[in-house]
Amino acid sequence: MRQMTLVAFLQAQNCTNLPSSWRHPQSRSDAWSADYYRHIGRVLEEGKFHLGFFDDRLSMPDMYGRDHEHTVRHGIRCVKMDAVTVLTVMGMATERLGLGATYSTSYYEPFHVARLFATLDLMTNGRAAWNVVTSLNDGEAQNMGCEQVIEHDLRYDRADEFMEVVLGHWDSWEDDAIVQDKAAGLFAKPEKVHRLDHKGRFFRSRGPFTVPRSPQGRPVIIQAGQSGRGKRFGAQWGELIFVVYPNIAAAKRDYAEFKAEVATCGRDPEHVKITQLINTVAAASRIEAEDKWAVISKLPLEIDALSLLSEALNFDFSTKEMDEPFTDEEMAAISGLQAIRDRVVRASGNKNPTVRDFIHFSGRGRVHDAIVGGPKEICDQLEQWLVERVRGLRPFRRTRAPAPWLVPERLCGQNPARESGGAHPAASRMGRHARTRAARWSWLSQV
């Protein structure tokens, strides 16, 4: 029986993925408190989610107008805390929930990232996941001591080697290395702890690594690259892939193509989960959900979209008039999330879209294509994605969870996965550099 994977897409910031969510009359105002994230963790675990995952950037969205004034004034993701630190708070408040955080390959050393996530994996009893990103805009580069972001494809070339080093360190302790024989005075077998001695184009890292393996072997690898180069990177390294398919027909095509790419990389396609972005507005009945949607849909401002588009595409949208087309040169120069650029071109049917086209077709700054309804309406649409051979889904609740206007549905047993019979998430396995497949993602079997 095929089963559904539920991942909550979170932000360690002053708002959710919907930047205007902080303005909702029922939103909590303590998004930088430990209690806020403990509550989120408990809600997700009780709601049978497999994973709580934090997206992250290393700068405010201040590319628009090259100034942070609008960002701070309108609360457009202007607070961004360290996601790994937040995850430790959630980890201490939960027992089974998987915990994922974003970390960049462009501004850290592989040894540091390997040690950070291996430690998190041990402290959460094998529940950690790392979302691998290459970073995408000049603001992040300038915060981290560089003038501008690395060229798009070169970022991924660098990330490929980064992954080799991280995985090499994670595999340098054999499973039975630690013996702790107090009588003999032997802590671990030296022949079972290895030095990496990596010397490559971008990195040098000696070892030996300083963190032993966790109950799941090593952290799970998450990836979300949707450009051509990003997809190749995800096929090579990813175990959980985040995607934004516009509809089921396109999803079936792209899903099959990506799985084929995974096989081309010499990996088992069944060991890679693909999770679709899903927005839901849920309530006990469709009428109540529509009332909620009426409030939510009035929250976004135009500046939200303009700010987030500038950030994501690494292009200052304030330099263009609303109905002014982008030139061929400007389109080619976009170095951020090229998948957004390509998606707008496809959806608009215009190779030179306007600013208005980008706002409309990208969905940035607002809840896009939301499923609005009671348990049955939402469950039926989620299951449709599953049965159409688009494996798994990522229910993306664009709210400041656990805001009062989200949580009661979950607590009242309205979680669609719980109401969907055979689609309820249960034991599911995958693996790469692991002890056994049964040891990987053990938290998937504990929900």
Q: What is the pLDDT of residue 1?
A: 65
Place of tokens 């170095």: 335
Long-range contacts for 407-414 (Cβ within 8 Å, ≥24 apart)? 407/43, 409/282, 409/283, 409/284, 409/375, 410/43, 410/46, 410/47, 411/43, 411/46, 412/284, 414/282, 414/283, 414/284, 414/374, 414/375
94 close to 128: Cβ distance less than 8 angstroms: no
CA–centroid distance for 178 within its chain: 33
**Averages of pLDDT over each 10 residues, the chain, 447 residues:** 84 92 93 96 95 94 95 95 96 97 97 98 96 94 94 95 98 96 97 98 98 94 91 96 90 93 96 91 94 95 96 95 97 90 94 97 90 92 79 42 37 40 32 41 52
User: How many other β-carbons are positioned within 10 Å of the β-carbon of residue 53?
Assistant: 26
Q: How far apart are alpha carbons 197 and 204 in whole angstroms?
A: 8
What does the block give as tokens for 324?
A: 């002014």
CB contact set of 84 (below 8 Å; sequence gap of 6+): 101, 103, 116, 117, 120
What does the block give as tokens for 122?
A: 């041990």
DSSP H or E run through 190: none
Q: How far apart are alpha carbons 94 and 342 in whole angstroms?
A: 39
Written as one string, the DSSP assignment of 116-185 is HHHHHHHHTTS-EEEEEE----HHHHHHTT-SSPPPHHHHHHHHHHHHHHHHHHHTSB-TT-EEEETTTT
Beta strands in 186-264 (DSSP E): 186-188, 198-199, 204-205, 220-223, 240-243
Angle at 239 between CA 237 and CA 242, to 5 degrees: 100
Strands 186-188 and 178-181, by their bridges, are antiparallel
What does the block give as tokens for 440?
A: 């990987």
Closest CA to 73 of 359, 320, 304: 304
Integer distance in angstroms from the first to the last C-alpha of the chain? 17
Q: How far apart are alpha carbons 440 and 429 in whole angstroms?
A: 6
State whether the Cα torsion 260-262-265-271 is positive or negative: negative
Q: What is the pLDDT of residue 167?
A: 98
What does the block give as tokens for 163?
A: 């992954």
Q: How far apart are alpha carbons 433 and 217 in whole angstroms?
A: 8
CB contact set of 377 (below 8 Å; sequence gap of 6+): 286, 289, 371
